Amino acid sequence: MNSLEKIDKNNIPQHIAIIMDGNGRWAKKQGQERLYGHSIGVEAVRESINACLSMGVKYLTLYTFSTENWNRPKDEVDGIMNLLVQTISNELELLNSHQTGLIVIGDEEGLPDSCRDELNEAKEYLSKNNKLYLVLALNYSARWEIKNAIKNISEQVKDGKINSKEITDELISNELCTKNIPDPELIIRTSGEHRISNFLLWQLAYSELYFTEVLWPDFKEEDLYLAVTNFQSRERRFGQTSEQII
């Protein structure tokens, strides 16, 4: 029995989010530039998409570029943006043949024009697809997202459109970039780092966290099946006792 067959098809997370980390360290180990690690990381993205399609996962969110990543050397930032444009263009037909839609979360206004244009074209081209949604977190940070939500909600209160008593969890969720996307049941971080790095802070309230030592460019379909198998072994209690759930 291979690892896909071991997975319980009745308990597949609808939404998996991945902090793709370790490209730089992977490249260094090969005696290569950091950008080489990012380019090989694209292969791990393909592997993850294939695994999600095989399992029937509906949303795959990939932390691709954080608002803090602008602080990296200019060459690396430029290289990542170019790679993004190239990759989206190269993968478009494959994504379409897999009936995969594209969603972007993050501050798209702050991206280079070439990148924003490519993303908009791709979103439009893939807009009828609904088997899997690939959600790219780009120029994203959770504090930026929450700050915007607070600004929007306070404007609505100021304009008398809502009363502050009407501010519910649901209302806040609807002001986030992930509006209409279920919270991720499973968050994975590669490369052995045990932190969240400003990712989906509101949405991860009850996510299961899974950390693996595997560096992102080495991440294979099999690694995603392992993560889901581990997820399925957990008891999600949401504040209740074990006895209450069984």
Residue pair 41/20 in contact (Cβ under 8 Å)? The answer is yes
Binding partner of residue 23 among Mg ion, ligand IPE, none, CB under 5 to 8 Å per kind? ligand IPE
For the chain, the first-to-last Cα distance in angstroms comes to: 28
Min dist CB 35 to Mg ion, Å, is 14
Q: For residues 151 and 195, which CB has a smaller minimum distance to Mg ion in the complex?
A: 195
Sheet with 208-211, side-by-side order of all strands: 100-105, 132-140, 59-66, 15-19, 186-189, 208-211
Q: Is 215 exposed, middle or buried (0-12, 13-18, 19+ CB in 10 A)?
A: buried
Q: Just list the catalytic residues.
A: 21, 69
21 lines the binding site for ligand IPE (CB under 6 A): yes
Q: For residues 12 and 19, which CB has a smaller minimum distance to ligand IPE in the complex?
A: 19
195 lines the binding site for ligand IPE (CB under 6 A): yes
Measured distance CA(81)–CA(76) in Å, rounded: 9
141 lines the binding site for ligand IPE (CB under 6 A): no
Binding ligand IPE by CB under 6 A: which of 25, 58, 98, 220? 25
The count of residues interacting with ligand IPE (CB under 6 A) is 18
Measured distance CA(37)–CA(27) in Å, rounded: 5
45 lines the binding site for ligand IPE (CB under 6 A): no
82: number of CA atoms within 13 Å, CB side? 9
Strand partners, 103: 135
Min dist CB 191 to ligand IPE, Å, is 6
Q: For residues 22 and 106, which CB has a smaller minimum distance to Mg ion in the complex?
A: 22
Mask for 48-87, x = binds ligand IPE (CB under 6 A): ---------------xxxx--x----------x-------
Min dist CB 106 to ligand IPE, Å, is 10
Min dist CB 189 to Mg ion, Å, is 10
Min dist CB 140 to ligand IPE, Å, is 8
Please identify, among the stretches 14-22, 48-56, 168-176, 231-239, the one whose residues bind ligand IPE according to the rule CB under 6 A.
14-22
CA geometry: angle 107, 108, 110, nearest 5 deg: 75
Measured distance CA(246)–CA(194) in Å, rounded: 30
Measured distance CA(68)–CA(181) in Å, rounded: 24
